[in-house]
Amino acid sequence: MKEYKFTIIIPARMQSGRLPNKMVLDLDGLPLVVRTAKQAHKSSAASVIVATDHDSIVAICKEHGIDAIMTRDDHHSGTDRIAEAASSLGLAADEIIINVQGDEPLIDPILINDLAAFTHSKQAEFATIAHPIHTEAEIFNPHIVKVVLDKDSNALYFSRSPIPFYRDGFNNPISEFKLPPLLNLLRHIGMYAYTGTFLKNYSQMPVSPLESIEALEQLRILYNGHKIAVLVSDTVPEGGVDTKEDLERIRQALSKH
């Protein structure tokens, strides 16, 4: 199998409903998006580029030596933004492009490398990661996205609801709750890998009703008949920054390091 390289593009829009201007919030002396990009640089990526909709994010990135590119401000999803950036950058059709969310300052570089290698070995046009769920709190938390797979480790569906629904267990009182050993519950990790060709096609796909209802961009791919290869990893990444509580949690983690 031939050699491969991969590029990381970090979508970073300024507007955020739950935590305004979060991409530029300070994390131990560095803006959030800059810290994420510096963490991504620890991977084996050939390059790391921030794709944003705001001049101030471009300026902040350049101030810290991070490559950045402007994109439109009306994109429906991060993947739409990455598709525009990949086209502007002239990335090759067979290039692997990794989407690392801009609010993941502690993303594991090894996990990034693993996803790139998995995408290459599977010759997948679109791939992502999941890890096993072990606690009741994660199962019923709508902020934690679940995924179910087919026998070839391709995604069947993603949801904020518990899937698969354990009929004979989830309806019991919480005091009696126990996960059966054969119930394979998986938490989706929001990092994606695509080929340049797939991104070009993605930008032409219509937005699906499922994507809008669940607020999960990957459902557009399944709705339009494409496969999503899923790497199941035992690595449980540190959560990203969506709320003030998340911000404080990351600050505490950084202070320990």
Q: Is the peptide bond before 173 cis (omega within 30 degrees of 0)?
A: no
d(CA 39, CA 34) in angstroms, rounded, equals: 9
Domain ranges of the chain: 6-256
d(CA 240, CA 162) in angstroms, rounded, equals: 21
d(CA 220, CA 238) in angstroms, rounded, equals: 26
Task: Map tokens 């599977």 to a residue.
Answer: 122
Q: pTM for this structure?
A: 0.90
Q: How is domain 6-256 classified at the architecture level of CATH?
A: Alpha-Beta Complex (3.90)
Alpha-carbon dihedral 53, 89, 86, 20, rounded to 10 degrees = -20
Residue 80, Cβ neighbours under 10 Å: how many? 21
d(CA 29, CA 147) in angstroms, rounded, equals: 36
d(CA 207, CA 54) in angstroms, rounded, equals: 24
Phi (first) and psi of residue 252, to 5 degrees: -65, -40
Structure tokens at 49: 């580029």
Per-position pLDDT tens, the chain of length 257: 567 899 999 999 887 767 778 898 888 889 999 999 999 999 999 999 999 999 999 999 999 999 999 999 998 889 999 999 999 999 999 999 999 999 999 999 999 999 999 999 999 999 999 999 878 788 888 989 999 999 999 999 999 998 988 777 666 655 555 666 556 789 999 999 999 999 999 888 998 999 999 999 999 999 999 999 999 998 888 888 888 888 888 888 887 76
d(CA 124, CA 131) in angstroms, rounded, equals: 19
Task: Map tokens 């509580």 to a residue.
Answer: 245
* C-alpha Rg value of the chain to the nearest Å: 18
Q: Is the peptide bond before 164 cis (omega within 30 degrees of 0)?
A: yes
Q: 3-class DSSP state for residue 132?
A: strand
